[in-house]
Structure 1
């Protein structure tokens, strides 16, 4: 008799991980002297953790610290440092006891969703969207409610869209800057959405992991400044370049503190101790991190100039993060096959749009520009030749 499978079997794959595997396989099979793979598929900074973070980890490892479990919500010193970050960046006074250190943002989302929502609850989000939002909700028995967005709203939701929802959803996931489009909401629109959620009893989950990586004139806003019930998710993976350290945090409203703490105790015990030590040190590595951001900005400017010359001229505004959302509908309606052929024939890896929008993503792809500057220039040149623009 076949064994039963659980709820996790209904979660769709995160396709970018398959693209990473294919790019790794191609790189491993290259002959000596053959052009390498240009990695534009993954949202992972090309630089590692800042030097001060690595040095702090080495000191902890060599200094005889046991590096055992911490409190479920993390080291008090790290939580206090994160609280100071809110004061420095946003002018917002946050009690450290409202901060929960997590196993990356990926560990934060299940905690937030389980604490805030029940099975069967609808949680709205813009489409295109970061796939694990919907995939985690689905695995937990909740219902992603997709709001189709396009360039006319900067691929972001609006209050007018939300007003049309009847019944109201239990929650809204919002990201500014967002993945995959790299767009931001103007501050007044962000604040209006946060206040609408507060008034309508819709729990706002604000994904702020790309804060610090805005490139235009739009100001970053934290939902915690505009909604007493909002949940804020952040991470050391992007601005602080610490993806593999798996360290992030939640800024929680008072009513979710104990529920999230109990869940964290049971699901994770605590985030890795050594990663917490390194993360605290990383927050004082401003010059190195700002140099990274300057490189992303140069890469962005290069691609916004060169990709149109290659025939990829339908690009998102790219206000922040390190992504370009490219409409390739004039070239294909099958972004999975298009990206596979592009990797095979040019060595440029990109993520198919269907990962972020199952209905419309066949005509889009996402390009990440956080790699080395030379790779970004080479990638644009390869695409120009491949698409017959030489």
Structure 2
């Protein structure tokens, strides 16, 4: 009999299970509309795709340095200079196989087996699952009034030391944004308490109420994880990056050499061109804003209320307790009966997830409007 380790018993990522079932129904010819997965409906801009096509025909695509192509890292340097007014040397940047590799590398470089990693709840479920798979302990901190509760972190740390805090802003699934003063206070508190801070910034540039703030604005000791997947519409290209404190560069490089070798060469070449496509990306973002406005207007009229203000990303985190206290069953029935896919809140929140659903508005406005029509008639 095959022996399965405890690491292999992580919970499924239900958003991907919903996607698989939606794809199965679509293959049968069912008119499925998806609000389930956080994947942009648009392709990467033409300049990005052309760079990849040209490289596929002319370049010798092979292994790169474990930390990534120098030209890609230099493009990221330019991004921080132009976008945030922050100078980061290319030597502190690691190009990764998506942000998922970045989280694994950060956890491994910053903690020992059994270490404690604090995360917000609700939050991205893969955080919890990666933490478990690496034999670490997830410390889930419920949000307070839709915001991260710094006092809860400090209380958990006083009870038993926390090694790492991982936070996202804008956040998945809530779309909540941590303001400049609050982020500065979090960075400072972690520094004083000896807690390593990982800032998940993969939804930067998808903020609708002000400017993005990077944790780098408060010092060089935070680990930044970012990605070309979301704003840059490159989910399937599997390329992201980290900005590392100087002391972590070599440890992360050593880990990456053995775990991943390098991010895909072709994707790195294409990604270096993404920063020059702002006009195309901002046009796509305008579509998200229109979709967001539709959800804000129509969902409350259906008895589906917003549990957090969706100031960023492309998600609505909604309280559906007027209709159900079983978000898994609600998601299954909605997909089976009206062919609308959305993600059950149980994926994101172990405390109150059964009362919530996450709706992604990353697709076209036409799809969002049709899905809302179906949901309204169904309820």
Deviation at 1:198, TM superposition (A): 1.2
The answer to whether the Cα contact below 8 Å between 1:197 and 1:204 also exists between their aligned partners in 2 is yes
Task: Identify the range of structure 1 (316-325 vs 301-310) with the bigger mean alpha-carbon deviation.
Answer: 301-310
The secondary structure found in structure 2 opposite 1:147 is strand
What is residue 48 of structure 1 aligned with on the other side?
A: 43
**1:71-90 → structure 2 map (5 Å cutoff):** 71-90=65-84
Deviations 1:31-51 (Å, cap 9, x if unpaired)? Answer: 6xxxx2111000000001111
Deviation at 1:358, TM superposition (A): 2.0
What is residue 333 of structure 1 aligned with on the other side?
A: 325
Report the TM-score, using the length of structure 2 for normalisation.
0.97
What is residue 105 of structure 1 aligned with on the other side?
A: 99
**1:1-390 → structure 2 map (5 Å cutoff):** 2-30=1-29, 36-63=31-58, 65-150=59-144, 152=145, 154=146, 156-165=147-156, 166=158, 167-217=160-210, 219-387=211-379
The answer to whether the Cα contact below 8 Å between 2:72 and 2:269 also exists between their aligned partners in 1 is yes
| Count of matched residue pairs | 377
How far apart, in 2, do the equivalents of 1:119 and 1:367 lie?
Answer: 35
The secondary structure found in structure 2 opposite 1:22 is helix
The answer to whether the Cα contact below 8 Å between 1:336 and 1:362 also exists between their aligned partners in 2 is yes
Deviations 1:210-245 (Å, cap 9, x if unpaired)? Answer: 00000113x321112213321100000000000000
Deviations 1:64-112 (Å, cap 9, x if unpaired)? Answer: x111101001110110110111111111110011000000001111111
Report the TM-score, using the length of structure 1 for normalisation.
0.94
How far apart, in 2, do the equivalents of 1:284 and 1:6 lie?
Answer: 45
Moved over 4 A (4+): none
The answer to whether the Cα contact below 8 Å between 1:195 and 1:227 also exists between their aligned partners in 2 is no
The answer to whether the Cα contact below 8 Å between 1:184 and 1:320 also exists between their aligned partners in 2 is yes
Deviation at 1:7, TM superposition (A): 4.0
Deviations 1:301-351 (Å, cap 9, x if unpaired)? Answer: 111111122221334210000000010112111100000001111111000
How far apart, in 2, do the equivalents of 1:299 and 1:314 lie?
Answer: 15
Q: Structure 1 stretches of 5 or more lacking a match? A: none
Deviations 1:1-21 (Å, cap 9, x if unpaired)? Answer: x34323432321111110001
Deviation at 1:134, TM superposition (A): 1.0
The secondary structure found in structure 2 opposite 1:120 is coil
